[in-house]
């Protein structure tokens, strides 16, 4: 059975393309690959829809960045033709997202004759089809099943919720000492750290002991957001409360921050709805197996990043 490591080992190009690099998960995967470029592969190509700070950081770190749009078949084909392995990270966003056209990112891999294809999806995508922004995940999984026989090596990596999403709400935590989200306070989920997910995917691509297949990556614990703010209070050294708000209020807050594009805001809203419905609470040991050690806990993540949730001098002035 072919593995991604075998494909990269015999290739002269040794090139990997990651889509969705204008989103945090795509950025984290591309950054992890860049950290190890020169070993199993020489080049990392980063596909994006919107040129933002994450894309600029990847350019600075040596990625070959290319704008990809669902309606631009030629750009997608040209980008894929330069890669041995393509990693598709939703949302590969433009105005068509949510209408099923995103499947072009899977079908293009077969047309461009790439040797390896990885789709990043979410656990329980099949149960999220009634949610507008998550429905395309299942459509992409279906498209992957249609092209897998045309590509040497195909894997699907399903993830739980990245706890790194808390970073988007850091200003709110600093100013209000509260984490305000549209999630039922008793809903449980198995959050993982994006850094661990990216490293696990890198290991899957570069170690021959990991065969192609389906990997479901989850964190090492089941928590509620009430548990999360308890850990955050300890990490930050100040009491932080959890407040349930409407989705509209959360989206208004994210719009005001201006750090992510429109479709990703809606995508995040649907993810939080999935958490409320307990669709992201399953646990597996796949991530531990890929990492060969225990994944990072939420407590450790918050301790490591506590400075982001503490007021700076300008934050303190704003609060006053």
What gap in Å lies between CA 100 and CA 270, rounded to an integer? 16
Beta strands 178-181; 153-159: pairing state: unpaired
**In a shared domain, residues 180 and 128:** no
CA nearest to 39, candidates 155, 201, 166, 205 = 205
| Non-local CB neighbours of 257 within 8 Å, separated by 6+ positions | 168, 171
**In a shared domain, residues 92 and 239:** no
DSSP 8-state symbol, 112:
T
Are 24 and 166 spatial neighbours (Cβ–Cβ below 8 Å)?
Answer: no
**In a shared domain, residues 66 and 155:** yes
CATH of the domain at 263: 3.90.25.10
Radius of gyration over every alpha carbon of the chain, rounded to an integer in angstroms: 19
Q: Specify the pTM.
A: 0.92
**In a shared domain, residues 80 and 127:** yes
Within 10 angstroms of residue 51's Cβ, the number of other Cβ atoms is 12
CA nearest to 276, candidates 304, 238, 302, 250 = 250
**In a shared domain, residues 182 and 295:** yes
Please count the structural domains in the chain.
Answer: 2
**In a shared domain, residues 295 and 231:** yes
**In a shared domain, residues 22 and 110:** yes
DSSP string of 277-310?
TTTT----SHHHHHHTSPPPPHHHHHHHTGGGGS
Burial (CB < 10 A; 0-12, 13-18, 19+), residue 237, is exposed
Structure confidence at residue 97 (pLDDT): 63
**Segments forming the whole domain that contains residue 59:** 4-159+194-217
**In a shared domain, residues 95 and 82:** yes
What gap in Å lies between CA 294 and CA 192, rounded to an integer? 11
**In a shared domain, residues 149 and 248:** no
CATH of the domain at 115: 3.40.50.720
Kindly tell me the sign of the dihedral angle through the C-alpha atoms of 107, 128, 162, 282. negative
**In a shared domain, residues 210 and 276:** no
What gap in Å lies between CA 192 and CA 255, rounded to an integer? 25
Q: What is the pLDDT along the chain (320 residues), one digit of tens a residue?
A: 679 999 999 888 899 999 999 988 999 999 999 999 888 889 999 999 889 899 999 999 999 999 998 888 899 999 999 999 999 998 766 665 655 588 899 999 999 999 999 999 999 999 999 998 898 899 999 999 999 999 999 999 999 999 999 999 999 999 999 999 999 989 999 999 999 999 999 999 999 999 999 999 999 999 999 999 999 999 989 999 999 999 999 999 999 887 777 778 889 999 999 999 999 999 999 999 999 999 999 999 999 999 998 887 555 455 44
**In a shared domain, residues 312 and 207:** no
**In a shared domain, residues 95 and 208:** yes
In Å, how far from its chain's centre is CA 101?
Answer: 20
């Amino acid at each position: 059975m072919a593995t991604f490591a075998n494909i990269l080992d015999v290739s002269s190009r040794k090139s990997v393309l990651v889509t969705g690099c204008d989103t945090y998960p795509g950025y984290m995967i591309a950054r992890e690959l860049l950290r190890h470029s020169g070993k199993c592969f020489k080049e990392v190509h980063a596909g994006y829809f919107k040129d933002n700070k994450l894309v600029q950081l990847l350019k600075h770190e040596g990625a070959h960045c290319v704008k990809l749009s669902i309606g631009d078949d030629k750009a997608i084909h040209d980008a894929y033709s330069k890669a041995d392995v393509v990693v598709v990270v939703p949302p590969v966003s433009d105005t068509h997202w949510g209408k099923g056209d995103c499947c072009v990112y899977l079908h293009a891999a077969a047309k461009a004759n790439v040797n390896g294809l990885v789709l990043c999806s979410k656990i329980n995508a099949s149960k999220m089809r009634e949610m507008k922004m998550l429905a395309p995940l299942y459509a992409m999984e279906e498209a992957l099943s249609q092209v897998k026989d045309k590509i040497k090596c195909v894997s699907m990596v399903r993830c739980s919720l990245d706890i790194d999403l808390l970073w988007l709400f850091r200003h709110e935590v600093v100013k209000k000492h509260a984490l305000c989200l549209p999630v039922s306070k008793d809903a449980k989920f198995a959050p993982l750290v994006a850094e661990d997910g990216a490293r696990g995917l890198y290991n899957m691509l570069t170690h021959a002991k990991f065969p192609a297949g389906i990997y479901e990556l989850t964190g090492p614990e089941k928590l509620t957001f009430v548990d999360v703010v308890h850990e955050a209070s300890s990490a930050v050294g100040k009491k932080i409360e959890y407040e349930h708000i409407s989705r509209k209020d959360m989206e208004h807050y994210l719009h005001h921050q201006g750090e992510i594009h429109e479709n990703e805001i809606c995508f995040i809203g649907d993810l939080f709805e999935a958490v409320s419905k307990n669709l992201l609470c399953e646990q597996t040991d796949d991530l531990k197996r890929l990492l060969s050690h225990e994944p990072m806990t939420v407590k450790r993540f918050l301790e490591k990043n506590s400075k982001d949730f503490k007021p700076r001098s300008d934050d303190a002035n704003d609060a006053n």
